[in-house]
């Protein structure tokens, strides 16, 4: 069941994406990328085999899911340290295996747009709940903390 809050959040995100696409059409790619592109690496690795697959892709905003009792600085600095264990990672010629999926930020642009997901949908109660109502946003923030985990040349 969709609530009005959830619908508004979805529309705002879609409107923002449309604005970014409109700006992208107005300026040269190189300048747009310098301003807004966040370079992301998504890696999949198999726990039991020496297998790793990496894909580098670009995003133009950083989506952060808020957690209770965590500051924005903690969320940003822990972004590269998070991973997801899965049971059905497909490994060529080996089939489905246990694996790890990890997403890491490799490069930040001059302008970083952060979308804060402050709500989550509760399937049991069919309502949208506020995750973090007291988020403090600092007036200055060193985003290089998000890149300190692993330095690699792209």
Average pLDDT of the residues in 51-65: 85
Task: Name every residue whose Cβ is closer than 8 Å to that of residue 21 and which is 6 or more positions away in sequence.
Answer: none
Convert the pLDDT of each residue in 118-147 to its tens digit: 667 677 877 777 776 666 777 777 777 666
| Predicted confidence (pLDDT) at residue 4 exceeds the cutoff of 50 | no
Tokens representing 81 are: 């340290």
The reported pTM is 0.65
What token pair was written down for 72?
């924005």
Q: Where are the beta strands (DSSP E) in 27-139?
A: 38-46, 52-59, 62-65, 83-91, 95-107, 114-117, 119-122, 127-130
Non-local (6+) Cβ contacts of 24 within 8 A are 32, 60
pLDDT, residue 22, reads 85
Segment 98-103 mean pLDDT: 90
**Rounded Cα gap, residues 109 and 84, in angstroms:** 26
Residue 117 has which token pair?
Answer: 């997901």
Name which of 64-73, 81-90, 107-116 the model is least confident about. Answer: 64-73
Letter string b/e over residues 58-85, b meaning 16 or more CB atoms within 10 A of that residue's CB: eebbbeeebeeeebbbebbbebbeeeee
């Amino acid at each position: 069941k969709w609530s009005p809050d959830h619908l508004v959040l979805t529309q705002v995100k879609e409107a923002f994406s449309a604005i970014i696409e409109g700006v992208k059409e107005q300026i040269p790619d190189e300048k747009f990328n310098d301003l807004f592109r966040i370079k992301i690496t998504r890696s999949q690795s198999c726990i039991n085999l020496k297998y790793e697959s990496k894909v580098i892709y670009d995003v133009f905003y950083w989506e952060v899911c808020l957690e209770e009792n965590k500051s924005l600085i903690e969320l940003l600095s822990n972004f590269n340290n998070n991973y997801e264990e899965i049971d059905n990672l497909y490994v060529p010629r080996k089939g489905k295996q246990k694996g790890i999926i990890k997403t890491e930020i490799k490069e930040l642009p001059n302008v970083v747009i952060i979308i804060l997901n402050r709500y989550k949908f509760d399937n049991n109660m069919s309502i949208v709940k506020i995750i973090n109502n007291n988020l403090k946003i600092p007036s200055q923030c060193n985003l290089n903390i998000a890149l300190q985990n692993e330095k690699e040349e792209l």
